[in-house]
């Protein structure tokens, strides 16, 4: 069994503030240790469930040298293979090698989720809403669609309660969830201890990978329209002049194509 872990930092227990997740911010060292340990916990669960190969991808853009490169290497599980420094949403090697299921660890909720700790979608300031046809999605949905394009189901999501709820809304009750904290506002939460969160992730992963898979690969209906609502008109300029991409209003962008991957490729990276 070959497993992909797509990882982000904002959904880790103990993290509520940007200064824990931005490169070289005062509490970044603390944040990256908490982050790394949760990834190792997921790897322990995956290997305990019988995984023969586990590859984790750091999807957290911390800025500076920390962009997609926030893990503390010596804290990572010994048998885990890990990817750093790769463009967001572009690591597909494992899909071509063969992958049976994906886990999403440390995820955060989409933009404008009142109880979503540090919620955002792609940009903390400019992307207000993203739709794949009629599905409102966040980064979880985008990652799930990338996996879905290669026929890989997502079986587990971890993060705060709001993020887990968002995952189940998109993929249904068959998605295993581990909520390691409960958001009270965008920057406050009630957390489990790091140790407890890691145990929950390890056990949740093991359960997700030893149970029959009940989630389907997420493939938005074809043809596919991706709609992005922006917060500021100047951001729209970045989408101009791209084949298949239309500015349908001062703050609205649409990308239409025969399938999701093509529609996404038409503007990403933007």
Q: Which stretch binds Zn ion (CB under 5 A): 53-61, 173-181, 184-192, 226-234?
A: 53-61
CA 152 from centre of chain: 15
Using a 10 angstrom Cβ sphere, with 0-12 exposed, 13-18 middle and 19 or more buried, the burial of residue 112 is middle
Q: Which two tokens stand for residue 84?
A: 């750093």
Q: Which stretch binds Zn ion (CB under 5 A): 59-67, 97-105, 222-230, 247-255?
A: 59-67
Looking at beta carbons only, is 109 or 245 nearer to Zn ion? Answer: 109
Strands 81-83 and 53-58: parallel
The reply to whether 139 sits near Zn ion by the rule CB under 5 A is no
What are the residues facing 185 on neighbouring strands?
188
Dihedral (Cα; 226, 228, 233, 239), 10-degree rounding: -40
Total interface residues for Zn ion by CB under 5 A: 4
**Among 165, 188, 186, which Cα is nearest to 175's?**
165
> Binding marks (x or -) toward Zn ion, 3..42, rule CB under 5 A?
-----xxx--------------------------------
CB of 10 to Zn ion, least distance (A): 5
Does residue 202 bind Zn ion (CB under 5 A)? no
Placement of tokens 């957390």 in the chain: 191
State the DSSP H helix or E strand holding residue 41, giving kind and residue range, or none if neither. helix 28-48
Contacting range for Zn ion; rule: CB under 5 A; set: 54-62, 82-90, 173-181, 256-264: 54-62
Return the number of the residue (69 or 199) whose C-beta is nearest Zn ion. 69
Report if residue 254 touches Zn ion, rule: CB under 5 A: no
160 touches Zn ion (CB under 5 A): no
Radius of gyration of the chain (CA): 18
Q: Name the minimum Å distance from CB 66 to Zn ion.
A: 10
Q: Give the residue at shortest CB distance from Zn ion.
A: 60
Contacting Zn ion (CB under 5 A), which of 60, 77, 128, 198? 60
Sign of the CA dihedral with 44 first, then 49, 52, and 58 last? negative
Q: Name residue 188's beta-bridge partners.
A: 185
Our CB check for Zn ion shows the closer of 41 and 119 to be 119
Q: Give min distance, CB of 201 to Zn ion, in A.
A: 17
User: Residues interacting with Zn ion, by CB under 5 A?
Assistant: 8-10, 60
């Amino acid at each position: 069994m070959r497993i992909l872990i797509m990882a982000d930092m904002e959904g880790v227990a103990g993290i509520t503030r940007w200064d824990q997740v931005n490169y070289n911010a005062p509490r970044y060292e603390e944040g990256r240790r908490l982050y790394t340990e949760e990834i190792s916990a997921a790897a322990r669960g995956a290997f305990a469930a019988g995984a023969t190969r586990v590859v984790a991808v750091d999807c957290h853009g911390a800025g500076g040298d920390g962009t997609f490169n926030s893990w503390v290497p010596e804290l990572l599980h010994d048998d885990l293979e890990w990817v750093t420094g790769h463009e967001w949403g572009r690591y597909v090697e494992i899909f071509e090698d063969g992958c049976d299921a994906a886990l999403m660890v440390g995820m955060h909720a989409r933009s404008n989720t009142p109880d979503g700790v540090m919620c955002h979608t792609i940009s903390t300031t400019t992307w207000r809403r993203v739709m794949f046809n009629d599905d409102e999605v966040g980064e979880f949905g985008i990652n799930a669609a990338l996996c879905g394009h290669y026929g890989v189901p997502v079986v587990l999501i971890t993060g705060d309660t709001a993020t887990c709820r968002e995952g189940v809304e998109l993929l249904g009750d068959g998605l295993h969830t581990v909520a390691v904290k409960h958001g009270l506002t965008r920057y406050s939460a009630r957390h489990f201890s790091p140790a407890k969160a890691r145990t929950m992730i390890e056990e949740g992963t093991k359960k997700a990978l030893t149970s029959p898979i009940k989630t389907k690969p997420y493939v938005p209906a074809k043809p596919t329209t991706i709609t992005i609502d922006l917060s500021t008109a100047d951001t729209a300029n970045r989408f101009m002049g791209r084949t298949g991409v239309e500015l349908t209003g001062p703050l609205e962008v649409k990308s239409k194509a025969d399938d999701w991957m093509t529609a996404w490729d038409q503007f990403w990276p933007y």
